[in-house]
Structure 1
Amino acid sequence: MKTADFLRVLDREGRLLAEAAELAGTDAKVPTCPGWQVADLLRHTGVVHRWAAAFVAEGHLSFRPTEEPPALDGAALTTWFREGHRQLVDTLTAAEPDVRCWHFLPAPSPLAFWTRRQAHETTIHRLDAEAARGGTPTGIDPVFAADGIDELLLGFHDRARSRARSPQPRVLRVRATDADDAVWTVRLSEEPPAAARGGAGEADCEVAGPVAVLYPALWNRQPFPTVHGDASVAALWQEKSAVT
């Protein structure tokens, strides 16, 4: 996917998130984020949007912490979220392709990184908002979902801070049933996970299903569609793979 594609997803997903939040109400519980209400979801995502926009707009070359969200609730909080989302989309749209700023995963450019990262950040939290709203969630494009699995397995969990570890070596395979080339192999050990595209070799456990279902399942937003083999490996992933 190109940066322009991620930008379109980000624009759409932020609007869907706000719409679902309005329908649910800011005091509604978010079943996919235990202990959170919709207000917490809006505050978190709104802060992250402004945090990301600042790196690109202001060219910060080193890490900067997020700011505290304002003491807003109800309609005022939803409006604040919409404003931050719009600011992020506009900032990324206007940015020069060679803009230099801090980013934390490998990418073709900082602009490519932030646009992709915020598209996935917003999509996962849009699913959270729709879970609070109830009803059928909005669909996810399979190509985008596969990219999100790439980002999670090959990016986030390639870092030393990943907690997805096993005292005994285990191999988890992730297989999309609706795309021939959407297969990942994750080697779990006491070191950070070693993940790669492809299905070579034996696996202790395989989780399988449509790629647009596997994507949120790997982010622990829903159960794995099917689990074959040693189910304790899938359970280990769900227990230890949270990204913070």
Structure 2
Amino acid sequence: MGRLHVTKDFWIGALRTEGPAFAAAVSEAPPETPVLSCPGWTVSDLAHHLARAYVWTRTVLAPGTTSRPERHDPEPPTGLTPAEWYFREYDQLVAAFEAVDPEAPAWNFAPQPKKAGFWPRRMALETAVHRWDAQLAIGAGEPVEAKLAADGVSEVLDTWLPAGRRIHSGQWHGVVQLAATDAAQEWYLRLRGDGVALLDTATILDHDDHRARVQVTGTASDLLLALMGRISFDALGVAGDRQLLDGLRVGV
């Protein structure tokens, strides 16, 4: 099974949940609190990173073209706490998403149509994973909502991996099966050295070699967090060749 059918409104709704939860965790933590899931980062670094990601996204959407704009990451404004700067950029991002036509031209980094609808999905998932990071820093991590997390698994497979954004370099060959126990969703992915192919099981023929060399089972949130390098695949149910899983890890 492939990507769930979701819309811009779904991703904006996710942002409206995840954004304030992220800001609340950042506000609760002392600024220099380490973010254990992002080694070397503090909670302030995390807030600044996400605020800059929002600024960059609006920069990409503004021209209404598929050309990649030059990126300039702003410095944190004086007089604002990390949470205050984050919330300012968050409000502007949500407003931009509400106004944009998902079919409008806009650059993205993936081998996908260059349309604005790419970015509400990307920022909703970026925010959800970093909300988990921020909550982990204060010992209060909550899982990513199942439907959003399942869409995040799909995003790793249809966007991050085809764009060549693995954490590890290497050559992997074989089929991986991922199954989300709380989302009635499963994915088959064929690893082909540097390349990947997301398989549609409805079109696989009897003579196709689609037998999985490794199967991974868990909640959609845990699958997403493992793919994003936040938790170990050991926290999920794994059967088969675990080495293939190194070829699935990406990160934000």
TM tier relative to shorter chain:
0.7 to 0.9
The residue number in structure 2 matching 1:46 is 51
Matching of residue 6 in structure 1 with residue 11 in structure 2: yes
Q: 1:155 to 1:71 in 2, by over 3 A?
A: closer
Could you give the per-residue CA deviations for residues 99-132 of structure 1, whole angstroms, max 9, x where no partner exists? Answer: 3322233667723211111111111111111111
Give the one of 214, 226, 243 matched to 1:232.
Answer: 243
Measure the CA separation in 2 of the matches of 1:222 and 1:84. 29
Could you give the per-residue CA deviations for residues 121-174 of structure 1, whole angstroms, max 9, x where no partner exists? Answer: 111111111111112x23433222111111111111112454666435233221
SS at match of 1:126: helix
The residue number in structure 2 matching 1:216 is 225
Measure the CA separation in 1 of the matches of 2:66 and 2:189. 32
Matching of residue 189 in structure 1 with residue 192 in structure 2: yes
The residue number in structure 1 matching 2:207 is none
Q: Report if aligned partners of 2:165, 2:250 keep a CA contact under 8 Å in 1.
A: no
SS at match of 2:193: coil
Structure richer in helix, relative to its length = 1
Q: 1:80 to 1:35 in 2, by over 3 A?
A: same
Paired residues for 1:126-137 under 5 Å: 126-135=131-140, 137=141
Identical residues among aligned pairs (%)? 30
Q: Alpha-carbon deviation of 1:22? A: 1.0
Q: Report if aligned partners of 2:179, 2:187 keep a CA contact under 8 Å in 1.
A: yes
Could you give the per-residue CA deviations for residues 9-49 of structure 1, whole angstroms, max 9, x where no partner exists? Answer: 11221111111111122211111111111111111111010
Measure the CA separation in 2 of the matches of 1:162 and 1:218. 10
Q: Alpha-carbon deviation of 1:90? A: 0.8
Q: 1:68 to 1:165 in 2, by over 3 A?
A: closer
Q: 1:162 to 1:186 in 2, by over 3 A?
A: same
Measure the CA separation in 1 of the matches of 2:144 and 2:172. 35
Normalised by the length of structure 1, the TM-score is 0.86
The residue number in structure 2 matching 1:178 is 182
In the alignment of these two chains, the number of paired residues is: 239
Measure the CA separation in 1 of the matches of 2:8 and 2:231. 28
One-letter code of the match for 2:237?
T
Could you give the per-residue CA deviations for residues 203-237 of structure 1, whole angstroms, max 9, x where no partner exists? Answer: 22111111222122211111231211222223x24
Matching of residue 80 in structure 1 with residue 85 in structure 2: yes
Q: Report if aligned partners of 2:228, 2:250 keep a CA contact under 8 Å in 1.
A: yes
Give the unaligned 5+ runs of structure 2: 1-5, 205-209
Q: Report if aligned partners of 1:164, 1:188 keep a CA contact under 8 Å in 2.
A: no
Give the unaligned 5+ runs of structure 1: none
The residue number in structure 2 matching 1:141 is 145
Q: Alpha-carbon deviation of 1:83? A: 0.4
Give the one of 10, 15, 24 matched to 2:20.
Answer: 15
One-letter code of the match for 1:242?
V
The residue number in structure 2 matching 1:30 is 35
Measure the CA separation in 1 of the matches of 2:161 and 2:178. 14
Aligned-CA RMSD value: 2.6
After the TM superposition, which of the residue ranges 78-87 and 106-115 deviates more from structure 2?
A: 106-115
One-letter code of the match for 1:195?
L
